[in-house]
Amino acid sequence: MTHSQKEHSVDQSTTHTETATSRRSFLRGGLAIGSAGAIGAGLLANGLPAFAAEKSSDITQGDIAILRFLAAAEIIETDLWRQYNELGGIPDSEVPGGSGSAPYITALEVLDGDMSQYIHDNTEDEISHFKFINAYLISKGADPVNLDKFRTLPSSQVTGAQNIGRITNLMQLTVDTSWWTKYRSRTKNPDFGDTFPQAIPALSKGQFPAIPRNNADLNSPDHVQAIANTAGFHFAFIEQGGTSLYPSLAQRVTDAEVLRILLSIGPTETAHFQTWHDKAGNAPPLTDPTNGLVFPNLNAPPFGGEDFQTNLIMPEPTVFLSRKFPACSIIRPTETKGAAMGALKALTDDGLFIGQSKEFFAVLHTLAVQADEAQRGY
């Protein structure tokens, strides 16, 4: 596929003018090649979404758009979790690649002795999420999502990492740690416009590695611990994002089976989040001697007290839908309007895409716009 053809595909996917003929040729091409990953060199491949009107079993354009945005999000999650697994998890046949970094694993284990297992299992889950959603899209005659052409960012140079192109950058993160206070508030909700203080203010401002960038990063134990602490808070940031994204988008799904997919995957993101919420609370207070990054004692002022105990890992009840109702223990936020674009902005602000091309941002923007245009019944 030529560059101009790819751009044409991206444009066309916004116009909703696909014909049955082109859909059939896409299906033939897909079957001939034999796997979703091999279809075309571009991310949107060469086919376009099918339409509800064409066949009664088909899903709506809106459902396809929502699933395609989620597939992209899951590919992004997989790319970042694979990097964590190579160095801090358990490389094996389920999650291949890398050979581990002993100093990094030792530092992660300060947060919990099972960190490597949890990193592995979270990674395996993300792989299963994007593969399932893409396979489901194909089964409905719709395009899977393929971001392989954007695997252009460098790997860590530390011993234990694979040296391959990445979609995401884990070495310049600006981690939003307000999930810590958001889930502990009894009176505020982001869906009411409320904002929440950062648990680790310094981490939300600068740019910090969440994996060792090279072997020199392993020289200072406190620096390695700061990197592991950063990862610990980043794990929870990523998974609380997924925890909100699925229920937010589910409100605009039309087909009951597509709704079932969102309602079945979303809570696994919540299972991840709660695990990471628990582990982040064990990150030891310290100051990174190489860059001054401070991890404060979260059991001391301005935190501390019953609602800020580091062993609180379940959501506190808070205001939901209207202040006239009693407080409710809920996922937050779940506002559906603009949910996909909000997720994309959060990932971008996180620094995950530093170094990515303009085309990458354009493609992700298009997928988010289409997902946010989806409405129930369309």
Q: Which residues bind Fe ion (CB under 5 A)?
A: 74, 77, 126, 129, 239, 242, 269
CB of 272 to Fe ion, least distance (A): 5
When the beta carbons of 166 and 234 are compared against Fe ion, the nearer one is: 234
Residues 57-83, buried b or exposed e (16+ Cβ, 10 A)?
A: ebbbbbbbbbbbbbbbbbbbbbbbbbb
Say how far apart CA 12 and CA 25 lie, in whole Å.
16
Query: Is 224 or 231 the residue whose CB approaches Fe ion more closely?
Result: 231
User: Closest distance between Fe ion and the C-beta of residue 65, in Å?
Assistant: 18
Neighbours of 162 (CB within 10 A): 17
Q: Return the number of the residue (87 or 127) whose C-beta is nearest Fe ion.
A: 127
Buried b (16+ CB within 10 A) or exposed e, 305-322: eeebebebbebbebbbee
| Closer CB to Fe ion, 196 or 237, in the complex | 237
**Nearest distance from C-beta of residue 318 to Fe ion, angstroms:** 23
Structure tokens at 216: 């020199």
- The full DSSP string for 191-239 is GGT-----SSGGGGTS-B-SS--SGGGGS-HHHHHHHHHHHHHHHHHHH
Closest listed residue to residue 200, CA positions, set 182, 221, 222, 178 = 178
Q: Tell me which DSSP letter residue 308 carries.
A: G
CB-based burial of residue 51 (10 Å sphere; 0-12 exposed, 13-18 middle, 19+ buried)? buried
Our CB check for Fe ion shows the closer of 126 and 217 to be: 126
Residue nearest to Fe ion (CB): 129
Q: Shortest distance, CB of residue 364 to Fe ion, whole angstroms?
A: 16
The minimum distance between CB 52 and Fe ion, in angstroms, equals 26
Minimum distance of Fe ion from residue 133's CB (angstroms): 9
Q: Which is nearer to Fe ion, 117 or 357 (CB)?
A: 117
